[in-house]
A and B are shown apart, each in its own frame.
Chain A
Amino acid sequence: MPNPLHLLSQQSPVDKFFLPPSSSNLARDFDWGWNFVLGSTAFFFMIVVVVMCIFIIKYRRRGPNEQTPVITRNIPLEVMWTGIPLALVMAIFFVGFKGFINYDTPQSDCRPVQVVASKWTFDFTYPNGSMDKNLYLEKGIPTLLNITSSDVLHGVYIPAFRTQRNAIFGRTTQIWFIPEQLSPPFINAQNPGGFNLFCTQYCGQGHSKMITHVYVLNKEDYDRKMIELANPFKDAATGKWIPYVKVGQRFFNQSCISCHNVTGAPGSIGPTWKGLWKSKVTFSYSNVLGYTLSPSDSDKKWEAYIRESVLDPGAKIVAGFPNSMPPQPQFSGNTLNDEKFHALLAYIKSVGSLPYTPEFTPEKNPDLFNADAKHPYHPESLAAKGKGGQGEGVTR
C-alpha cells in the first residue's frame, strides 16, 4: 500500500529500494552505515564480476593444446588484495561498532514502556499503568522498551526504527530509540496505519501472525491516547462513554483475533466465539474432576468458566484445541480491569448465533449498546454503589 508519509521522508530512491521508511534516530545512523557498506560491497562485487567476464571472453580456449604462461604467484599483488579489503572491513567494523554502542546505550531520560511477549501477542504497559496491544509513542521523546517473555523466545523488531531485541523468559532486555517521524494514521481495521512491529524469533504456530502496530503520535494525540487507554470506556476525544460491546470488540480486535474468530470459520487456533455463549462444550482436560458445561447451565457458571479461560487458559481445554493460550492478566486485578472483562464478556455474548440467541441485544439491553447510557458496570454506577470504582480516577 503506498503510504503518503513515505513520500515526505528524506530517503533517496536508492534507500527506498532497499529499506523501509526511516523513522528514528537509530535509523538515520543505520542508513548511513548501510549505504557505506552497500557502496563498498557493490564496488568489490563489480570488480569480481567484470574481471571474470573479461577473462572468460578474452582468454577463451582456442585449441586443446593452447600453451599458457606459468604465473604462479605475485607477492605484492597478494599483499594488496589482502590489505585493502582488510582495511575496508575494519572501517566497516568501526561503523557498526559505533552504531551498536548507540543502540545498546539508552539515553538516561527515556520514557520506559514494559513489553511482555507471549505466544502470540505483545503487551505494552505504559508509565500510567495502562496496558495495550499496540505500541504508542510520542514523537521526539526518547523511549526505552523493557522487554521480557512469558514463555519461549520472541523478538521485538521495528523495521522503521532499525532496531530489534529478543524477548527472553526470566530476563529483561532493552531497546531504546527516539521516534522522529509521525506514523501513518489509523484509518480502520483493514488499513490500520502505523509502523509494523514483528516477532522475529521463531515461536511456533502463530509466529507469522505475531505482528502489531507502532503509532508515533504528536504530544496532543499521545496524551489523549494515554487517557483513553487508562479508561477504555470513555472516548478521550469527545468525552462520551463508549458502548460496552464496542469496547469488548476492540479488545477482541487487538488481541484475541490472532487465535479466535467471530465468523465461525474453521481452522482457527482457538475455539470460535460465534455462538460460544451457552453452546455445547466438551473438554479434553479439566482441572476439576467431572466438570461439564452445558447450554442449560446458569449464567453464573458460564461467566465463571469464561473468566477462568481468560485468566488461566490452561485450566480447561476444549477438545480438539491445543493448550497454547497465554493468561491475559489485563482482565483482572482491579476494578477497571474487572470491568474490561465484563466488556469482553458482553462482546462474547453479542456474537452468539443460532440456535443460541445472543444474551445481549440492542433491543433487550439498550443500555449496553447505546453511548452514554448508565449500565450496571458503568464506572459511575459502580462508584454510586460504593464499590470503590476508580473509573476516571486512574487516568493518570
Chain B
Amino acid sequence: MTTANYLTHPRGIRSWLLTLDHKRIGIMYLVSTLAAFSLGGLFAMIVRTQLLSPNGAIFTVAKDYDHYNQMFTLHGAIMIFLVLIPGVPGALGNFVLPLMLGARDVAFPRLNLFSYYLYVSGALIVILSIILGAVDTGWTFYTPYSSDPDIGSRDAVSLMVFGIFILGFSSILTGMNFIVTIHKLRPSPPNGMTWFRMPLFLWSLYATAVIQILATPILGITLLLLIMERTLHVGIFSPRFGGDPILFQHFFWFYSHPAVYIMILPAMGIMSEVIPTFSRKPIFGYHFVAISSLAIAIIGFLVWGHHMFPNGQSTLLSTIFSFLTMCVAIPSAIKVWNWLATMYKGSISLKTPMCYALAFLFLFTLGGLSGIYLGSLSLNVHVHDTYFVVAHFHFVMFGGTLMGFLSGLHYWWPKMTGKLYNENPARLACALIFLGFNTTFLPQFLLGSHGMPRRSATYLPEFAPYHILSSLGAGIQLLGFILAAAVLIHSLFRGRQSPPNPWGAATLEWSCPSPPPHDNFSTPPLVGDPYDHANLVWISDQEGYRRSQEPEARSQKSQT
C-alpha cells in the first residue's frame, strides 16, 4: 500500500495526541482500555490466588484482609469503569461508527478528543487513589461504609469516587456525540442510510448512548453527595448524620443497572454483525433485533430495585421490580433466538471472531438464564450477595461483554491495523479463554447456591474444592489472554496485508481500504443492505471479498 492511511497521515506523536480523527481516538481508547484491562486482570489474579486456601494464600492474617478487600474493589472498579463501560463504545464504536454510517467523522471531533482526555484524567485519578491508599469499599461504594470514615473505610474513597465522576462525563460526551452523529451524519437519500438500513451495531450503540446520557448524571450527583457526606458530614446516606443508606442504593443502581446495559448492548451489536457475516446470511428478524435494543434500553431503566430485594426495600417495590426484571429478559431472549435463526441454513465459517461469537452465545445464554433466579423474588433471597451473583455477572459481563469485545476486536483488527493475524493460534486462545472461563465461574454458581457470601477474604473449608477449581480456571484464562495478545501483537509486525474485505461482510467499513484512509470516504458511499452477503464474491488472488454489483444497480435489479 503506497497511499497514506489514517495510521501514517500525518506522522508524529503530536499528530496522535492532538488528533481529531475518530479512528485514531478509537485506537487510543483501545490501547488505554487494554492497559486498564491488564491492570484489572492482575488484581483478579491476586484475588483468585488468595482464595486458593480457606484461610487465604496471600493475606493470611486478619489485619491483611484489608488488602484483599482492596484487591477485589480495584478489580471491580477498574473492570467496570475503565474497561467495560468505555471499552466497546470508546474503542470499537469510535473507530467503526462513522465508517459504518458512511460518514467522514463523528459529529463533534473536538468533543470526541476531549472525552478521551477526560477518560485518561479520570483513569489517572483512580490510579492515583490506588497509590495514595487503595479503596476497600467494593465497587458499589455502599454507604455508610464508604461515606462515614468513623465507622467505615478510611481509605482514599473521595479521590477514587471523584475519578469515576470524571469518567462519567467522558461517557456522557461520547454518548452525545454518537447520538448526534447517527441523527445528522447519515448519507442522505437517495441511496443514503435510512434508519432501517443501519447495521445493528449502530442501533445498539444508539441505544447505549441514550442510556449513557440519561443515567450517568445520576451517578455523578450521587458520587458528589457521597464526597460531601464524607468530607462535610452532610447527612444524606449515613444514618449517624440523619441520612438513609438505602437511598444511596437506589441512586447507585438507578445508574448502575442501566450501566450493565451500557456494557452489554454494544457487545450484542457486535454479535449482530459477526454472526451474519460468518454465516454469510442476512440477519434474521432485523427489526426485532433493532427494536429489542431500544426495549432493553427503556425497560432497563425500570429494574434497578432488583438489586435490593432483601435490603430493606418495601415489598410492593420489590414486587414491581421483579415483574419488570422478568420482562427485560425477553428482548435479550429475542436477540438470542434471532442470532440462532441467522445461522440456520447459513454457510458457517469458524474464523476467530465467530469462535468468540459462539462463546458469547453459550456464556451469555447461561448468564442470562441465571439472571432469572436472581430476578425471582424468593429465589433471590437465598442467593443474594453470594457467589451466585458473582458468577452471574461474570457470565454476562465477561462471558457477554468481553467475549463480544474480543469478537469485535478480532473482527475489525484487519480493518484497524491492515494486518491479518494467524487464525489457528487465535482460535486456540479463544478455546483456552472459553475453557478457563467455565472452569472459573461454573463452580461459583455452586458456591453461591451453597451459601458462600461474596467479598470474603477467607472461607469455610467445605467450600475449598470449588474455590481451588475456580482459581485453576483463572490460570487457564491467563494463558489464553497472553496467547491472544501475542497473536495480535505478532500480526502487527509479521502479519500479512489485509484486503479491504477479508470476511465477506456487507457493511460500509469494509468497502474502504484496510487500514482506511484519513478521510474515510472521498465521496459519500452508496448504501445498500448491510447484510447483503450474496452480493460479495471471493477474489482468490486478493484473499478477500469484493462487491459484484454496486448497491444502486442491485437495488434496481431487486425492484424489477
Chain A interface (Cβ < 8 Å from any Cβ of B): 1, 17-20, 26, 29-30, 33-34, 37, 41, 44-45, 48-49, 51-52, 55-56, 59-74, 77-78, 81-82, 85-86, 89-90, 92-93, 95-104, 119, 151-153, 155, 157, 159-160, 162-166, 168-171, 173, 196, 198-209, 211, 259, 265-269
Contact assessment for A268 and B284 in the assembled complex, using a CB-CB cutoff below 8 Å: no
Instruction: Using known A-B contacts A153-B245, A205-B69, determine if residue A65 contacts B379 with beta carbons closer than 8 Å.
Output: no
Q: Give bound CA distance, A269 to B62, whole Å.
A: 6
Contact assessment for A29 and B326 in the assembled complex, using a CB-CB cutoff below 8 Å: no
- Number of B residues, CB within 8 Å of A: 102
Question: Shortest CB–CB separation between residue B60 and chain A, in angstroms?
Answer: 7
Contact assessment for B450 and A168 in the assembled complex, using a CB-CB cutoff below 8 Å: no
Which residue of chain B has its CB nearest to the CB of A314? Answer: B150
Q: Give bound CA distance, A60 to B348, whole Å.
A: 5
Contact assessment for A37 and B372 in the assembled complex, using a CB-CB cutoff below 8 Å: yes
Which residue of chain B has its CB nearest to the CB of A77? Answer: B341
Contact assessment for B282 and A72 in the assembled complex, using a CB-CB cutoff below 8 Å: yes
B280 at the interface (CB under 8 A from A): yes
Contact assessment for B384 and A65 in the assembled complex, using a CB-CB cutoff below 8 Å: no
Question: Shortest CB–CB separation between residue B416 and chain A, in angstroms?
Answer: 23
Question: Shortest CB–CB separation between residue A186 and chain B, in angstroms?
Answer: 16
Contact with A along B313-331 (1 / 0, CB 8 A): 0010011001100110110
B61 touches which one: A119, A211, A267 (CB < 8 A)? A267
Contact assessment for A56 and B348 in the assembled complex, using a CB-CB cutoff below 8 Å: yes
Contact assessment for A66 and B385 in the assembled complex, using a CB-CB cutoff below 8 Å: no
Contact with A along B325-341 (1 / 0, CB 8 A): 01101100110111011
Contact assessment for B344 and A71 in the assembled complex, using a CB-CB cutoff below 8 Å: yes
Contact assessment for A52 and B347 in the assembled complex, using a CB-CB cutoff below 8 Å: no
Instruction: Using known A-B contacts A96-B380, A165-B310, A169-B245, determine if residue A68 contacts B347 with beta carbons closer than 8 Å.
Output: yes
Contact assessment for A82 and B326 in the assembled complex, using a CB-CB cutoff below 8 Å: no
Question: Which residues of A have CB within 8 Å of B386?
Answer: 157, 200
A70 touches which one: B64, B282, B372, B461 (CB < 8 A)? B282
B133 at the interface (CB under 8 A from A): no
B454 at the interface (CB under 8 A from A): yes
Chain B interface (Cβ < 8 Å from any Cβ of A): 60-66, 69, 136-138, 142-145, 148, 151-153, 239-240, 245-246, 279-288, 309-312, 315, 318-319, 322-323, 326-327, 329-330, 333-334, 336-338, 340-341, 343-350, 358, 361-362, 365-366, 369-370, 372-373, 375-382, 384-386, 446, 449-451, 453-462, 504, 533-534, 537-538, 540, 545
Contact assessment for A97 and B377 in the assembled complex, using a CB-CB cutoff below 8 Å: yes
Question: Which residues of B have CB within 8 Å of A63?
Answer: 347
Question: Please, could you name 13 A-B residue pairs with CB atoms under 8 Å apart, sorted by A?
Answer: A29-B378, A33-B378, A34-B382, A45-B369, A59-B344, A62-B347, A66-B347, A68-B345, A85-B333, A95-B378, A200-B454, A207-B456, A209-B62
Q: Give bound CA distance, A52 to B342, whole Å.
A: 11
Question: Which residues of A have CB within 8 Å of B378?
Answer: 26, 29-30, 33, 95-100, 102-103
Q: Give bound CA distance, A90 to B138, whole Å.
A: 33
Question: Shortest CB–CB separation between residue B283 and chain A, in angstroms?
Answer: 8
Contact assessment for B152 and A168 in the assembled complex, using a CB-CB cutoff below 8 Å: no
Contact assessment for B309 and A71 in the assembled complex, using a CB-CB cutoff below 8 Å: no
Contact assessment for B336 and A37 in the assembled complex, using a CB-CB cutoff below 8 Å: no
Contact assessment for B450 and A152 in the assembled complex, using a CB-CB cutoff below 8 Å: no
Contact assessment for A157 and B538 in the assembled complex, using a CB-CB cutoff below 8 Å: no
Question: Which residues of B have CB within 8 Å of A30?
Answer: 378-379, 381-382
Instruction: Using known A-B contacts A52-B343, A164-B310, A200-B453, determine if residue A34 contacts B282 with beta carbons closer than 8 Å.
Output: no
Q: Give bound CA distance, A104 to B349, whole Å.
A: 52
Q: Give bound CA distance, A45 to B336, whole Å.
A: 11
Q: Give bound CA distance, A17 to B199, whole Å.
A: 44
Q: Give bound CA distance, A171 to B314, whole Å.
A: 13
Q: Give bound CA distance, A170 to B322, whole Å.
A: 27
A52 touches which one: B240, B362, B379, B537 (CB < 8 A)? B362
Specify which of B451, B456, B459 lies most central, judged by the most chain A CB atoms within 10 Å of its CB.
Answer: B451
| Given A97-B322, A267-B64, A268-B63: 6 more A-B contacts, CB < 8 Å | A78-B334, A89-B327, A97-B378, A99-B377, A157-B384, A208-B458
B451 touches which one: A20, A26, A96, A206 (CB < 8 A)? A20
Question: Which residues of A have CB within 8 Å of B372?
Answer: 37, 41, 89, 92
Contact assessment for A259 and B152 in the assembled complex, using a CB-CB cutoff below 8 Å: no
Specify which of A55, A67, A96, A98 lies most central, judged by the most chain B CB atoms within 10 Å of its CB.
Answer: A96
